């Protein structure tokens, strides 16, 4: 582990909220490159999230957002395993940010499994009509791509996270990162968006 400065470890720790040893190990694995080390930690976070996904979540908090003109607002319920984590500043900030995301992106469903079968069929039907005349294999790939885009538009977990400037992170990625950071199963269980007159 020689060659990794304490300053580099500290910087990565502040950025990710993870332990010193985990950050140092990631930097070693990434050959001292902070961006690659962050990527290593993110990949580990995905694994952590999968392992913790089955654990019971009976604590949590409500995040809310009210637009400055008072005409639009949203609420989200975040669940976790302990009240200690529910009071964590990172979880509170996440709840607020996701409620702002809901207000801005107007998702209809939480995850793709929640989309009714008839809505999926209707999207496929529209997509197939748009690719008529193309070879079958090509047409099916285009239909699958259009369906993926539909999920990204209407499903909260699949939407690009509004606070991620790169446009690569989804809301689901943010949840996984939070699981890695807190060491608990954390999930968005439901949300609601209000707009005056809608």
Note the pLDDT of residue 1: 43
Radius of gyration of the CA atoms of the chain, in A: 20
Residues 115, 96: Cα–Cα separation, whole Å: 25
Contact 38, 16 (CB under 8 A): yes
Whether the predicted pLDDT of 118 surpasses 80: yes
CATH of domain 59-111+155-195: 3.30.479.20
Whether the predicted pLDDT of 173 surpasses 50: yes
Note the pLDDT of residue 55: 60
Note the pLDDT of residue 103: 95
Whether the predicted pLDDT of 188 surpasses 90: yes
Note the pLDDT of residue 62: 95
Residues 39, 29: Cα–Cα separation, whole Å: 11
Between the alpha carbon of residue 101 and those of residues 35, 58, 96, 98, 123, the distances in Å are 26, 24, 9, 5, 24
Give the range with max mean pLDDT: 21-30, 82-91, 103-112: 103-112
Q: What is the pTM of this model?
A: 0.70
pLDDT digits (tens, 9 = 90+) for 55-93: 666 789 999 999 999 999 999 999 998 888 889 999 999
- Please state, for a pLDDT cut of 70, what percent of the chain lies above it: 89
Contact 162, 169 (CB under 8 A): no
Q: Does domain 6-52 have CATH number 1.10.8.10?
A: yes
Whether the predicted pLDDT of 181 surpasses 90: no
- 24 against 155, higher pLDDT: 155
Contact 172, 158 (CB under 8 A): yes
Domain residue ranges in the chain? 6-52, 59-111+155-195, 116-153
């Amino acid at each position: 582990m020689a060659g990794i400065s304490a300053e580099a470890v500290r910087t990565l720790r502040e950025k990710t909220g993870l332990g010193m040893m985990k950050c140092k190990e990631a930097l070693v694995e990434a050959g001292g490159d902070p961006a690659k080390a962050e990527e290593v930690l993110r990949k580990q976070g995905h694994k952590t999230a999968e392992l913790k996904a089955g654990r019971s979540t009976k604590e949590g908090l409500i995040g809310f957002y009210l637009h400055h003109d008072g005409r639009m607002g949203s609420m989200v319920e975040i669940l976790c395993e302990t009240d200690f984590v529910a009071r964590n500043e990172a979880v509170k900030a996440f709840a607020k940010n996701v409620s702002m995301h809901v207000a801005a992106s107007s998702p209809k469903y939480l995850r793709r499994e929640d989309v009714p079968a008839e809505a999926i069929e209707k999207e496929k039907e529209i997509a197939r009509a748009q690719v008529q005349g193309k070879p079958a294999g090509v047409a099916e790939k285009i239909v699958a791509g259009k369906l993926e885009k539909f999920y990204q538009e209407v499903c909260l977990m699949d939407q690009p996270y509004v606070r991620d400037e790169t446009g690569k992170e989804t809301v689901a990625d943010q949840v996984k990162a939070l699981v890695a950071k807190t060491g608990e199963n954390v999930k968005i269980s439901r949300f609601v968006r209000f707009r005056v007159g809608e």
